Amino acid sequence: MFNTNKRLALLIGIDDYGWTGGRLYGCVNDASQLSTMLSSDYKDRPNFNCKLLTSDKQKITRSVLRKEIDNLFSQEADIVLFYFSGHGVENKNGGMLVTQDATKFDEGVALNELVNAANQASNVKEIFIILDCCHSGHAGNSVVVNHNTVLRSGLSILTASLPNQFSMEVNGNGLFTQIILDGLNGGAADTLGVVTAASLYNYAEKILDFWQQRPVFKAHCSEITPLRLTRPRLTRKELYKLIKYFKTEDFKYPLDKSYEPTEEPKSKRNEKIFSYLQKFTSAGLVQPIGAKHMYFAVMKNKCCELTPTGKFYWKLVKNRKI
């Protein structure tokens, strides 16, 4: 579906720390599972070309992480995604991604450095930064402008928690990453199965409790880019029938018994149309008028019409936007 040479993802997971913060248990899992999820779409077609670095396979030091970040943002690509799961710390200048060789006052790579590299990556159209670590909400904020966020066009940041908050681990996964995985698996998808950064944030924000950590979303975008395709509720081919049956947005499609296969008179043509109308109904695009179900609408010679969401997709099909 996508040209994976143009969609690159770097995923980092660190469990093994000698540092005061102590060992973690879910980060290698997090990065590995997210890598698998992002690599392909629901039909196993390639999605992101993923590079996975985890502390069980290699030592992730400050210099390794820096090199990888520098390398990532030097690429020529449509989309670059950076993911980190591990320890995070904060100091007066902002937050830091903690590396395995962390020492006091030299914990790892500053979020400022990461976001600056992203802001300056001129060969990459869109960048997504996803961080599941404590204090990750600092990402993008700058002391120079009073801790407000500085973002270039095309950059979106999703973080597990507020600048001053900790991020939790549960059952061998980061809580935030677990939610992101569910969202990417279809929970955050629209009718066509598309998951975007905004839909993913909306999903995570709703699932997370206000008493737990609060995720942060920062974005500056001129389009909404799919992060992953999941199983659509309707195929495009099915969706294109919308404008065939509904000549206008407000058209009321009249039904009668010939549409229902179990009733007389029989009409093969109408039964086929009805099977599409039923699919539209199940996807929330069409609703019967004056009857609870399409079945009753047919039996009582009522009509069906487009729902508000149905009108949205009708316009997209009509104007050839999908």
Partner 1 sequence: MISEKRLALMVGINDYNWKGGQLYGCVNDANGMTDILSKNHDKSPNFHCRTLTSDKDEITRRSLRKEIVQMFNKHADIMLFYFSGHGSENSIGGMLVTQDAKKYDEGVALDDIIGLANQCTTIKEIFIILDCCYSGHAGNNSVVNNNSILRKGVSVLTASLPNEVSMDTGGQGLFTKILLDGLSGEAADTIGLVTAASLYNYADKILGYWEQRPIFKTHCTQMTPLRHTKPQVALSKLYMITEYFPAEEYHFPLDKSYEPTEDPRNGTNEAIFTDLQRFVSASLVQPDDEQHMYFAAINEKSCSLTPLGKFYWKLVKSGKI
Give the binding site for partner 1 (CB under 8 A). 119, 137, 140, 142, 144-146, 148-153, 162, 182, 185-189, 191, 196, 198-199, 201-203, 205-207, 209, 214-224, 230, 233, 275, 278, 281-284, 287, 292-293, 295, 307-309, 311-312, 315-316, 319, 321-322
Please give the radius of gyration of the chain, using alpha carbons only, rounded to the nearest integer.
Answer: 24
CB of 146 to partner 1, least distance (A): 8
Query: Taking the complex as a whole, how short is the minimal distance between the CB of residue 185 and partner 1, in angstroms?
Result: 6
Cβ pair 59, 14 in contact under 8 A: no
**Amino acid at residue number 151:** L
Contact at 8 Å (CB) between 158 and 227?
A: no
Reply yes or no: is the peptide bond before residue 265 cis, omega within 30 of 0: yes
- Tell me the C-alpha distance between 26 and 31, whole Å: 9
Q: How far is the CB of 320 from partner 1 (least distance, A)?
A: 8
Contact indicator for 99, 146 with CB cutoff of 8 Å:
no
Q: Given the complex with partner 1, which of 289 and 322 has the nearer CB atom?
A: 322
User: Which lies closer to partner 1 via its Cβ, residue 66 or residue 311?
Assistant: 311
The smaller minimum CB distance to partner 1, of residues 22 and 144, is found at 144
Pairwise CA distance, residues 198 & 137, whole Å: 16
CB 12 within 8 A of CB 60: yes
By beta-carbon proximity to partner 1, the closer residue of 51 and 241 is 241
Nearer to partner 1, 2 or 42 (CB): 42
Minimal distance, residue 182 CB to partner 1, in Å: 7
- Least Å distance between CB 309 and partner 1? 7
Lookup result for tokens 């992203």: 118
